[in-house]
Amino acid sequence: MGLFDFFCSKKAIQQTIHDQSMGIIVWSGEEKSWCGSCNGVKFQIVREAGQDSPSSELMAYARKILSGKFLQGSLEKAKGDWVNRYPLAKDEVDILRYELLSIYLYKNENRIWAELGPEFPDRCWRMEYHERMEYHDFVCEGLGFDS
């Protein structure tokens, strides 16, 4: 091993995490995330640059989100708000549910990108969240879709 190899060596990524609250979480090289399912919701904890396992802060955030009632309550509220503004969308919006939560750190802020289903041929529904550290709460940035 040369000097260059010593400074450029990387730790092996932790393949499996056993978490008391979230269960078994498995590394996916394709997703660049640790993936699992908790309380019927699929999630992925996105790898932070240079890390071989999720940070304790991001794990704590994931536990807090997945163990509480915040997610379902915020989805129901957002769906209600959407239907109030766009009544013709009621049938489609009413059946939306979480398909996958991507939990990640962005600019030192815990965030979630939530993909909603079922799939529709002409749109991809989603919700975004961020944590307000100073208030110890979460904010739903809204429900929307991409075409």
pLDDT of residue 6: 46
pLDDT of residue 103: 95
pLDDT of residue 134: 64
Residue 58 contacts residue 48 (beta carbons within 8 Å) = yes
Which residue numbers in the chain have pLDDT < 70?
1-10, 133-136
For residue 120, what are the domain limits?
Answer: 3-146
Alpha-carbon distance of 22 to 40, in angstroms, equals 11
The total domain count for the chain is: 1
Look up residue 37 and give its DSSP letter: E
> How many CA atoms does the CB half-sphere of 24 hold within 13 Å?
4
Phi and psi at residue 55, to the nearest 5°: -65, 155
Alpha-carbon distance of 141 to 147, in angstroms, equals 19
pLDDT of residue 3: 47
Look up residue 59 and give its DSSP letter: H
